[in-house]
Structure 1
Amino acid sequence: MSSPFSLPAALNLPTSSSESVADAIHRCALAWDTNDAALFDSSFMPDGIFEVNDHTMKGLPEIHAKGLALIFKLDTTHIVTNVRVQMREEREASLTATVLVQHFAKGKGMEPGQRSLMSGSLYHAELAIDTDGLWKFKHLKIKSIWVVGDYSIIEDNFSEVGWQME
């Protein structure tokens, strides 16, 4: 589903710039916040690996079934900062970032007194240029450092998407 808050996946950035690499994390975060699966897919290789706190998903079908199914059940705001990019080879790069996320139950964020969960996480990614000219994640790893609020906002949806709590 496209959102009026999304720009096209391909912007007019030179592919050799670190800004072009960083655009992958911005596309991904905005896709989560706007429930835009097509924009999300523009940030991930079809066989990409997505790790969130020891939960590993491989390939877009599994990432959609487990990761997006969980995230899209929530209203979120991802604030991406401290982005650093290391250009490694002509078509490969690494990226790190710090991300703050506010989570609310779907449609409840504007209602007073609602349960919420805020988290601070570190991201590490390996990226490559895909055939469409966009930098995409080959591997995105997220490690939550802290959470504050009501963890059941997320936990309520874990069993529905096949995640087991340790």
Structure 2
Amino acid sequence: MSALDENDSALFNSAMMSDVTQDFNGQTRQGIEAVRAHALGVVGPLDSTHFVTNIRIDVEDDAANTATLTGNTLALHYPSGTGRSQSNRRLVGGSRHKVEMVKGAEDGLWKFQTWTIRTVWFEGDYSVMDGVLDEL
């Protein structure tokens, strides 16, 4: 989630397979360019912080190059440049994530192959994320 909070394309790319598939509340994106454009295009510019908890990673003994990661996120979003102000304009949300991961052959890093996100709840000002909530 650091790549989102820091709007860091290089970090984001290092965590994704080039043919990654994302299912964000039923809206599917295919390929790293589409997934990155949505993730960094919507969340990247915001003052945001994502907290990940209840992480579980299952690695199959017979397939040491694949794993499944599950976890929950609490995400706080403020319009760009307002996160440290007294602004009451914010959007907080809770989501569940399931990620099928593979170990990259070139660099040995674990990377997202499929990323499923299910938003459970939101609280606050929906206009903070203009455009993204139309897809929820």
Structure 2 length as normaliser, TM-score?
0.91
Once the two structures are TM-superposed, the CA of residue 52 in structure 1 deviates from its matched residue by: 1.4
Superposition RMSD in Å: 1.5
Gaps of 5+ in 2: none
Which residue of 85, 99, 107 corresponds with 1:125? Answer: 99
Q: Which residue of 2 aligns with 1:91?
A: 65
Matched, 1:143 2:118: yes
Give SS of 1:99's match.
Answer: strand
State, as a whole percentage, how many aligned pairs show the same letter.
36
Aligned-partner SS, 2:36: helix
The TM-score with structure 1 as length reference comes to 0.75
C-alpha distance in 1 between matches for 2:87 and 2:48: 16
SS in 2 for 1:51: strand
From 12, 15, 19, give the equivalent of 1:43: 15
1:165–1:45: structure 2 CA closer, same or farther, 3 Å change rule? Answer: closer
Inter-CA distance 164–121: structure 2 relative to 1 (3 Å threshold): closer
Greater alpha carbon shift after TM alignment, 137-146 vs 59-68: 59-68
Q: More helix per residue: 1 or 2?
A: 1
Q: Which has the higher contact order (CA 8 A, sep 6+)?
A: 2
Aligned equivalent of 1:52: 24
Could you say which structure has the higher strand fraction? 2
Question: Matches of 1:48 and 1:103 in 2, distance apart?
Answer: 25
Contact preservation (8 Å) 1:108, 1:114: no
How many residue pairs get matched? 133
Are the counterparts in 2 of residues 128 and 135 from structure 1 also a CA contact under 8 Å? yes
What stretches of structure 1 of length at least 5 have no aligned partner?
1-28
Q: Is the 8 A contact 1:99 1:122 kept in 2?
A: yes
Runs of 4+ in 1 over 3 A off after TM superposition: 163-166
Change (3 A) 1:71 1:113: closer
